[in-house]
Amino acid sequence: MFVQVICYIIYNNNRQGVVFLDILFLGTGAGIPAKLRNVTSIALKLLEERGAIWLFDAGEATQHQILHTSIKPRRIEKVFITHLHGDHIYGLPGLLASRSFQGGESEVTVYGPKGLKEYITISLSVSQTYLKYPLRFIEIEEGIIFEDEQFIVEAKLLDHGIPSYGYRIIEKDKSGTLLADKLVEAGVQPGPLFRKIKEGESITLEDGRVIVPEEFLGPDQKGRIVTILGDTRYCDNAISLAKDADLLIHEATFSKGEVNLAYDYFHSTTHQAAEVAKQSGSKHLCLTHISSRYDRQAWRELVEEAQEIFSNTDIAEDFKEINIPSK
């Protein structure tokens, strides 16, 4: 079973001109809700690009955790489920229902393993819950499961007791900053022509000069990569999904000395999570899915164990945020 993370990607253009990806953890415990840690859900909040939120997993009490944030359920556009253990899906029927009650009318697409459609359909049917918006299901296999002009989402199977997927969220590269001062010096006035150049279109001025976009745009802005893994043993697909990730969110249900126990229960240790980060070339590792057997004092020890292999490691806590600046 997996932790409830709401990974919350916010495009904020008001923080000194830097665009951040903000990852907000709503739940970080293993298996069942606990006083200090809830179970799993991750939200990508795409405000500027599409005015929408994507959720990754929706364990029990996801909508309760959302009440402590600025997330509006009616903004939820997509839900990606890693696997069908209860701590990842028990909160989804209620959340979908509340979204309808709160005025959500736009379509929601739910991605996940085979069986997810049946679970949601039966839950809504038995409770006689009728949604006021279209609900679409895509039961996934490995590969690219979503792509548009802004993002790619890739899924691969991990090593767990039931089919469990990891997700690689890739932000596509963006064209460079428009060199407005240089354009004005060249005789181009702000307005529609600026937009055409920003979009990569050459323009011809009244005097016959041709303005080529490449000469008036800064270098392309590299997109960021966030990897969110469902429950898993140490495996090659985890490393592949995390390749060069700016942030890897990896479960660490067990401490480094409990390798056999982790294997028996299809989970990972702190050392195994760190090894995935190291082998993949990830820049930052955040441990999550922390068992309630570990108290606050032990959390620091878990981080130190992982840091023996991968130094840039920290540990998730409910409502902790990680900010990834633009490159």
Query: Rounded to whole angstroms, what are the CA distances from 154 to 49, 165, 167, 240?
Result: 20, 10, 6, 11
Q: Which of 290, 282, 300, 203 is nearest to 253 (CA)?
A: 290
Catalytically active residues, by annotation: 87
- Distance, in Å, from the CA atom of 224 to the CA atom of 71, rounded to the nearest integer, reads 22
Q: Which residue has the tokens 């709160």?
A: 102
Task: Give phi and psi for 132, each to the nearest 5.
Answer: -95, 10
Strands (E) in 230-298, as ranges, are 247-251, 285-288
For helices 270-280 and 296-307, angle between their N-to-C axes, nearest 10 degrees: 40
Q: At what angle do helices 116-126 and 92-101 cross, to 10 degrees?
A: 60
Determine the Cα–Cα distance for residues 82 and 231; give it in Å rounded to an integer.
Answer: 8
Taking the C-alpha atoms of residue 42 and residue 26, their distance in angstroms, rounded to an integer, is: 8
Instruction: Say whether 167 sits in a helix, a strand or coil.
Output: strand
Calpha distance 10→50 (Å, rounded): 11
Helix (H, G, I), strand (E, B), or coil: what is residue 202? Answer: coil
